[in-house]
Every structure is written in structure tokens, then in C-alpha cells.
Structure 1
Amino acid sequence: MNTFAARDSQTNLLEVTVSELSGSIKRTVETAFDHVRVRGEISGYRGQHSSGHAYFCLKDDRARIDAVIWKGTFPRLRFKPEEGMEVIATGKVTTFPGSSKYQIVIENMEPAGAGALMALLEERRRRLAEEGLFDQARKRPLPFMPQVIGVVTSPTGAVIRDILHRITDRFPVRVIVWPVKVQGEGSGDEVASAIRGFNDIPMDGPVKRPDVLIVARGGGSLEDLWGFNDEAVVRAAAESRIPLISAVGHETDWTLIDHAADMRAPTPTGAAEMAVPVKAELDAQVASLSARLRGCASRHMEHRRQSVRALVRALPSLDQLLALPRRRFDEAAAGLGRGLERTTVIKRRSLDQATAGLRLEILANRVSERRRFIGEQVLRKERCLERHMLKEHSRVAKAATALGALPARLAGQLQRERQHLTALMRQADTAVSYALIRNRGLVTGQDRVLQSLSYKNVLKRGYAVVRDAGDRPLTRAADVSAGQFLEIEFADERINTVACGDSPPASPPGAETARKRPAARTALPGEPPKQGSLF
């Protein structure tokens, strides 16, 4: 009895389930640690999960704790988590009953001091430099005289007023301002989107694409300028097809966009001075160059004029130049009359020689010879034509003889073709008869198989098929309701009937009592005599 009492005393504790125990622990932990600040190093961070949540660990030299940032909290973080970053996380501790683990749900996160920010900044600068985003070969020269300048900055600060004032003083051009946040959450994404937006403006669109971009912000602490150290901003600046000037902070402030930009300005005002030249200086320079050009042209013309005068003095007079040609002309004019007389004598002598050979007797003999030659040619052509005509007459006679014997040959050949066609027709009739007999046998065999598989043979053995009004077969009594129109097919014909009465109750298991068939319903007036009730 004492043994049983002791055993009962050990079971006086309240019995709970595993889920109840896990829920009690979860409520206890969340109540005791509903708001904590934890300092540690981020470990195992692989970015956001496909669900949008982020899972990683916070650790120090002796312990570690699981951490989670929910999807709705992640966009509100001022600093995004990175592997190896030392942070101070604010949130609450909770448990995960599915694996008996506890974790901290982070609601806010910040780097653990300026040293951590500098270490993170240096590590990011080194990684981007290894990718070649800061190479000097990527940087482009600024246009000397841009027509449109794009400015990415806050529209309400003093920076934009300084830039516009300096551009107006130096060289007034068109300025397009893309307003962004330059500090706080989401500032880096807005600056990157603005840079890419300016680059996406088409060259021939209604809004002219800027020739140079200025990304500007006033001075501030490292945390204030942190948005310009964002990796998205650096990559957008490096990918920009428009030359970009970085003017973030004061001269001593350096951000990662300064390394990726094509030119770094110490101040926003300095960026405006780099973007455009001084119009007054250009006007003075153009006036000076114009004066120098006019003086140079005047001196050049005077030098050419002196050279022409020297050349004119060295040239001989007009009489000296024409003396020799005039003498040659006089000598040629004096010999022209004598040459014409000699040429006339020579031509007359040649004409007399040619006239001596032209006599009437010679011309008559030549005409007679040509007439005799033509007559011989005509006789020769006539004889050739007669021989050709005789040859053609003989060929036509032979062809007529051959055509006379053609009907006899055609009649014999037609008789042979008719006999061959008759033989082929007899062979075709025989082949068709054989094919009909073979196909009739195949059809007869298939019909016997079909008849053996037909349900009508089953009906001949005393069975019947019951169909509903839609001509669908009914296989169960449960499918039949009172007053339903039915059609029963026997081996010889079909009859129509109407179901009446309720279905009999189901027999209990093991019962051997037979169901009694209800009496047939009395036929209604006007119904066909062969119709009846199935039940």
C-alpha cells in the first residue's frame, strides 16, 4: 500500500501537451524580452528569401542567436544587412515551436559606431574597385560647352540655388532638375533611379537629353552622406553614358560615387564651374582671336602684295615678249602665197593624169563583161532550181505510195490491240470475282464474331435492358424513382412503362428473405395494351 501511495504522489503534476508547453514558453520569452538591443556581427546572410524575409545570425566571440527581418520591415531599414557587418539590432525575442529554437525579430538596425561604418565602406570600396568600376579608363571627358545640364539633388536645399546661380553667372544654359532625397531611407535608390532616368531619355525626344549630369549634396556627417555610398548609386554612376560630375559634401568629404564619377568637384558650386565655361572670358577670348586673325590677314595680304610687285618688276616688257612671235608670223605670211601656187600646180598635174585613163571604150568593155557574167549566173541558178524541183516531185510520189499502204497496216494493228484488250478484260473479271469471294468470307467471319459479342444474344436467354427517358441504360434500382418513364427492351421488341411505388427497404446483412414483387399497376385509360409496370 505504501508503494502505491508513493507512486501516485509522483504523478500529481499537471499534464500538458507539447504544443501547450511550447506556447507557454513562447509567451514567457516574448513577455520578458519584448524590447531588446543586441550588438553582434552578422553571419550567414544570403540576402532576402524568395518570400521577402531575411534570415541570418548575430554572433560574438562566445555565442550566437538566430535573427529574422520580416518582409514588411526590410524596406524601412536605414542600413541593409551585410555579411560580417557589426550592428546594433533592436527588436523582440521569440521562440519557434517547430524546432524548439529562439530568435530575435529585428525591427531596427544600425551599424555599431563610426568604425563599423568605415570598415564597411572600405570593404565595399575594395570590392567595387576589384570589379573595375573606379578605373580611369572608364571615365569620359566633360563637354566643353553643354547645351543642357541635368542636376540630381534636393529641390528645396541651398545646393540647387548655388548651382543655378553659378551657371547663370558663368554661362546661362538649360538646366533640368531631377528632385530626389539626399539623406535618409531610400535616398540611394532615388539617386540611382534619377541617374538611370536621365540616361533613358531618347536623343531625339521632346525633352533633350542632358549633355552632362551633376549629382550634388551639401556637407554632413558620414551617416548623412551614407546614401551616396550605396552600391546601386555607384553602379548607376559607372554605367551612365552621360558624363557625370560628383559634388557630394565639402572638399574633405569623400563618398564612393566620387570614385565612380567622371569628375569630382569639391563643392556643388565647383561642379557648376566645371560644367560650363565663363561666357565673358569666352567673349574676350573670341574678340582677341578675331583681332589677331584680322591683323594676321592684313599682314599676309601686304606680304603677298609686295611679292607681286617684285615679280612684276622682274617680268620683261610687252614688246620684248611679242617680238619673236611677230617675226615668225611675218615670215609665215610671206611664204603663204608661194606655197599656194605650188600646191595648185601639183593638184592640176594629178588631175590630168587621172583624166587620161578615163575613155568611153574602156567603160563600154567593162559594162559588157559585167552583163555577160550576170547572164551566166542566171542560167546556172535556173538549172539548179529545175534539179531541186525534180527531186521534190520524186519525194512526194514516194510519200503518196507509203500513205496508200498505211490503212492496211493500221487495220492489222487495231485487230491485235482489240484481242489483247479482250484478254485483259477476262483477267480483270476473274480477279474481281476472286476478290469478292475473299472479302465476302472475311465479312461473314466478322459478322459471326460481332453476333457472338452482341447483347441481343443475352436478351434471347431471358434477360431485358431497362432504359430511362434519355435512352440511357439503368443498372441499379436506386436510379429508378416513382413515376419515372422507363423503356424495357426484350429479345423481340421494346415496351414503355412507368415506375410506381416506393423502393422496398434494404434487407439486413445475412437475411435470406426474398423480396416480394408488388402487384402490377392497372393500366390507365388510353395507354397501349403492351405497356405495364416494372415493379
Structure 2
Amino acid sequence: MSDLIDDPAEGLNAPEFTVTEISGAVKRTIESSFSRVRVRGEIGRVSMPRSGHVYLDLKDDRSVLSAVIWKGVAGRLQTQPEEGMEVVATGKLTTFGGQSKYQMVIEDIAPAGMGALMAMLEKRKKTLEAEGLFDPGRKKELPYLPEVIGVITSPSGAVIRDILHRLRDRFPRKVLLWPVAVQGAKCAPEVTRAIEGFNAMMSGGAIPRPDLLIVARGGGSIEDLWGFNEEIVARAAAASDIPLISAVGHETDTTLIDFASDMRAPTPTAAAELAVPVRLELLGWVGEQEARLARALSQSINQRQQRLRDLARALPNPQALVDQASQKFDFTGGRLAPALQKAVQVKRLALEKRAAPLQGATLAQRIRHEDTRLKSMARRLASGLSSNTKTQRRVYDKTAQRLRPLALKQEVDRKKTAFSALSQRLSISALNQTNTWRNRIDALERLHQTLGYKETLKRGYAVVRSQDHIVTSKVEAEKATELEIEFQDGRLATGPSASPKPSRKAKPSPPKPDQGSLF
């Protein structure tokens, strides 16, 4: 710190620093002494603001160390910090001058041993189980014979070869491989994207959408399989619309994706066996069903033939039934022709009888007679209508002359009635408005009396005046030569010139109509 030391003032031995200078000196000292440290402790408070940085506390049974993980580092961490997890943090110590505190800038963080990993795994499992992601009721049934199978695994491992070999032996199917990292920091995000990518495919597209998914990986330690214990992988498996088989590790290995998937296979080979049936077994079963169907069909045909023969023996001879109907038809057809000829003759005679009066001079005479009769009736009708019209007009004029004065009187009476009703309505409205104003004034007067100081005097208080000035303090009362005290029932004067005065009673107010109390 020699660069900060100035020449001391005359008579003083200690140099003077600014706040910024001393803060910078402390910062450089701490960073140079603790440029890279590894700290083991339990994660306490964890804060993730919108900036993307992560602020947390590392603590043990006696001390607390504030720490920060910058946004760029937080996105690359394989293990995300969780409250209560015991970790080993790697980074450097520095200071934050704005608050005069020191803190640790974490560059990497890892669980502190197998116990911390298992504790964190158990905590995640309980959280996801509480949300219902492991509920057996939401698991989907696997298709019996999928057309396309999507496999999510490493393309260079033995897992994909085992799966393809087992599918080829049992029942060859189309396989779509989505290559992913099955270990390390890239494992969880790549597996998540693979599951979501297969679900995003459209049916009938250029690349067929799988009917079944298999997430597979060989065995390994818990650290090697940790990518399949990440929360994003478990949530992606639970949200998959395509049925999913989890085949991660060996039979004794258990990861979170095993609980979230629709079916867990102990090994990748077993996943292929769960995905498809055995083709030869199906062929044998189909052959057996075919033989049973042929036997059942033959037996059914024989039974129906026997039943038909039994029913045929009970039926009458068809030729005999036809002969009887043919004989009846011949008999009826022989009678039809004479009956038609006779009916025609009868109709012809009736027509000739009706046509005889309409022929010759008889028809013309009847027409002239009817014409003369109609003209006579028309003349009589016209005369009667003319006479009746004149008579009705005279009667109408006389009636109108009698009714005109009566109608005028009725109109005047109706106008008087309407005017009286309107006057009555106006009187009632004016009276109601006046009563409303009077009630409002009375209520305000009662409120004024209630809030006035007269009511306060009735409760035992008094007003002290000095020469018409209200005294509000002891000092003013001591200076005043004469005081006048007003009580509820009158005023009392004090001082040298005080003389008894008759008490003044409040002038009784005129009685008011009972309007009720607002309080």
C-alpha cells in the first residue's frame, strides 16, 4: 500500500485515505491472497433475480459466507444450487465496496460426496411426486405393435446396437435415432430437446412421427447417470404425448426419468422386448386362430345345412301352391271380359238419357227465358238500391245534427278532468318538495345543536372568558383581572367587580315536529 501513502502532515504520523482508496486496497489484498479457493458448506438462502445472476449463502454451524454466481457461469453449471444441499464451491474471494462486505465469486459447484447427491435426489423426487408427475393414473398404455420407434441415446455406444439387434430378432420396425450425450453437462438439455422434438413432429410429414419412444443408456455410477435425474428431463418425460420407455442403467440403477416415464425397462435390451412382440409367436398364433376359424366355419355350415333340410321337409309342395293360384287366375280372367262389356252398355244408356233434353230448340228456349228473368231482377235491384241510399243519407244527417252539441260538451268535460288531474299532481309535487326541504332543515338544525358547544357544557365542561375573549391556558387566566365562566345553566363572573347576576337560561326553542333522530 505504499502507493497510497502520502507525506504525512506536519506533526502527524498516520496517512489519510479516501473511502474509495481504502476499499480498493482491501479488495486487492483479499483477491491476491484468495484468488482461488474451494469452500465446503451448506447452501442457505438462494436468490435468482431477473438479471440471471444467482446469489446464495454458504454456511456451517458457526459462520455464513455470501456468494454470487454470474449469469454466464450459472448457465453452464452441471449442478444447480438448491437450498439445504451440501456442496463444494470453487472460486475466488472479493469485496463489494458498495456495502463494505466480502463475498465469494463461484466458478463451479459440486455436491459434497454421495450423501449430498442422494439427499438432493430424494428432495427432487418428493417435489415431483407431490406435483403428480409419478401418478400411475396419468401413465399411457404402450402400443401393441408400433410402426415407428424413436430411440434417444448415444449413436456410438453398444446400447443402440443391442436395441436394433433385439428388434430385428423379434419384429423388425422402423427406428428413428436422435443422438444425444448420455453423460456430462450436455446430457440433460439434449435429452429434453430430443423428447420435445419427437413430440413436435407432425403425423404424415416427411419424417414419420414415432409411435413409441425409448430413452436408453448403459450402466454407470450415480454421477454418470445424474443427467437423467435432472428435473427438466423428468418433466419432459411426464409431458410427452408419445408413450415413453425408460431404459437407463442396469436393473439396480434408478433415476427420476424411470418414475416419470410410462414404462421402466431394467436394460435397453428389455426395452426393445417391451416395445414389440415376437413375430414368430404372432405367426404361430395367427395360424392357430386360422385353423380354429376354419373348423368353426365348417361346423357352422354343416349345422345350418342340417337345419335347412329339416325345415324343407316341413314345407308344402311349391308346385301344388302354384297350381291352385293359376287355376284361380284363369277363372277370374274368363269372367272379366263379359263384365266389362256389360258395364259399358249400362253407362252408354245413362248418357243418352241425360243428353236428350239438351238437344234442339228446347235448349235455346231455356237460355232466352233465363236471360229475361235475370234482366228483370237487375232492374228491380238497381231501383231498390237508389231509394235505400237516399233514405240512409237523410237519416245520417238528422243523427249528426243531434249528436254534434253532445260531442262538444263531452270534449269540454274531458279537458276539465285532465286539467283537474294535472293541478292535483302539481299541488302534491309542490307539497312533497316543501316537506323534503323542511325535513332537511330540521335535521341540520338538530345536527348543529348536537355538535355545538352547548351540548359539551351539559357533560360537565365550562367556557372561560376574559372580556369576551376565550381563555385557553393557565397563563392567560393568571394575567386576566376578571373572568367569566359559562356553565350549562348560566354564567358566573369572578374578580374585583364581580357581582351576582341572575343566571341566564337558554331561551326555550319552539317545539319542532318529531322527525326522529339521526343518531
2:457 corresponds in structure 1 to none
Tell me the equivalent position of 1:66: 66
Query: Does structure 1 residue 13 correspond to structure 2 residue 14?
Result: yes
Structure 1 match to 2:53 = 53
For residues 147-180 of structure 1, what are the alpha-carbon distances to aligned partners after superposition, in whole Å with 9 as ceiling and x for unaligned?
1111111111111111111112211111111111
Superposition pairs of residues 422-433 of structure 1, within 5 angstroms: none
Shift of 1:336: 5.0
What residue identity is the alignment partner of 1:17? T
Match of 1:79 in 2: 79
1:120–1:345 Cα change, 3 Å: closer
Cα distance in 2, alignment partners of residues 160 and 140 from structure 1 = 24
Query: Equivalent residue for 1:369?
Result: 366
Partner of 2:463: none
Give the Å deviation of 1:379: 9.4
Following superposition, the deviation at residue 109 of structure 1 comes to 1.2
Task: Go from structure 1 to structure 2 and tell me whether the alpha carbon gap of 1:384 and 1:314 turns closer, same or farther (over 3 Å shift).
Answer: closer
What secondary structure, in the 3-state scheme, does the structure 2 residue paired with 1:134 have? coil
**Is contact 2:246-2:264 (8 Å) kept?**
yes
Structure 2 matches for 1:142-221, cutoff 5 A?
142-221=142-221
Q: Distance in 2 between matches of 1:288 and 1:179?
A: 42
1:370–1:260: structure 2 CA closer, same or farther, 3 Å change rule? same
2:119 is paired with a residue whose SS is helix
1:102 corresponds to 2:119: no
Aligned ranges 1:228-377 → 2 under 5 Å = 228-318=228-318, 320-321=320-321, 325=325, 332=331, 355=352, 359=356, 363-374=360-371
Deviation string 1:457-509 (CA, Å, 9 cap, x unpaired) is xxxxxxxxxxxxxxxxxxxxxxxxxxxxxxxxxxxxxxxxxxxxxxxxxxxxx
Q: Report the alpha carbon displacement of residue 320 of structure 1 after superposing the two structures with TM.
A: 4.9
In the alignment, what sits opposite 1:44?
45
1:44 aligned counterpart, secondary structure: strand
Letter paired with 2:72: G
Using the TM superposition, give the Cα deviation of residue 40 of structure 1 relative to its aligned residue in structure 2, in angstroms: 0.8
Between the aligned partners of 2:345 and 2:32, the Cα distance in structure 1 is 148
Structure 1 unmatched runs, 5+: 1-7, 386-535
| Deviation per residue, 1:184-223 (Å, 9 max, x gap) | 1121111111111111112232111111111111111111
Long gaps (5+) in structure 2 = 1-8, 383-519
**1:44-77 Cα deviation digits (max 9, x unpaired):** 1023x33332111100111110111122322332
Per the TM alignment, residue 92 of structure 1 is displaced from its structure 2 partner at its CA by 1.8
The whole-number CA distance in structure 2 between the counterparts of 1:182 and 1:131 is 26
Distance (whole Å) between structure 1 residues aligned to residue 369 and residue 341 of structure 2: 43
Shift in alpha-carbon separation, 1:356–1:280, aligned structure 2, 3 A = closer
Q: Which amino acid aligns with 1:29?
A: I
* Paired AA for residue 208 in structure 1: P
Contact residue 151 and residue 214 of structure 2 kept, 8 A: yes
RMSD: 3.3
How far apart in 2 are the matches of 1:124 and 1:322? 90
Question: 2:96, 2:103 within 8 Å by CA — same for their partners in 1?
Answer: yes
2:227 aligns to what? 227
Partner of 2:423: none
Amino acid at match of 2:42: E
Equivalent residue letter for 1:31: S
Q: Do the aligned partners of residues 229 and 363 (structure 1) sit closer, same or farther apart at CA in structure 2, a change above 3 Å counting?
A: same
**CA separation in 2, counterparts of 1:318 and 1:78?**
93
CA contact (8 A) 2:357 2:363 kept: no
| TM-score, scaled relative to structure 1 | 0.64
Mapped to 1, the partners of 2:347 and 2:28 lie a distance apart of: 146
Please give the alpha-carbon distance, in whole angstroms, between the structure 1 residues aligned to 2:55 and 2:351: 127
Cα-to-partner distance string for 1:280-335 (whole Å, 9 max, x where unaligned): 222222222122212211111111111112222222334654575467567x46x9
Cα separation, partners in 2 of 1:324 and 1:38, compared to 1, 3 Å: same
Instruction: For 1:379-528, list aligned pairs within 5 A.
Output: none
Q: Which amino acid aligns with 2:44?
A: S
Tell me, in whole angstroms, the C-alpha distance in 1 between the residues paired with 2:339 and 2:254: 108
With over 3 angstroms needed to count, the CA separation of the structure-2 counterparts of 1:349 and 1:261, relative to structure 1, is closer
Contact 2:191 2:233 in 1 (8 A): yes
- Distance in structure 2 (CA, Å) of the matches to 1:165 and 1:382: 120
Q: State the AA in 1 paired with 2:150.
A: G
**What residue is the counterpart of 1:395 in the other structure?**
none
State the identity %: 52
Aligned partners of 1:72 and 1:352: how far apart in 2?
Answer: 122
Partners of 2:63 and 2:353 in 1: CA distance: 144
Matched residues in 1 for 2:288 and 2:71: separation? 66
Q: What is the number of residues matched between the two proteins?
A: 377
Distance 2:350 2:204 in 1: 90
Q: Which residue of 2 aligns with 1:467?
A: none
State whether residues 152 and 194 of structure 2, in contact with CA within 8 Å, keep that contact through their aligned partners in structure 1.
Answer: yes
TM-score, length-scaled by structure 2: 0.66
Contact 2:73 2:107 in 1 (8 A): yes
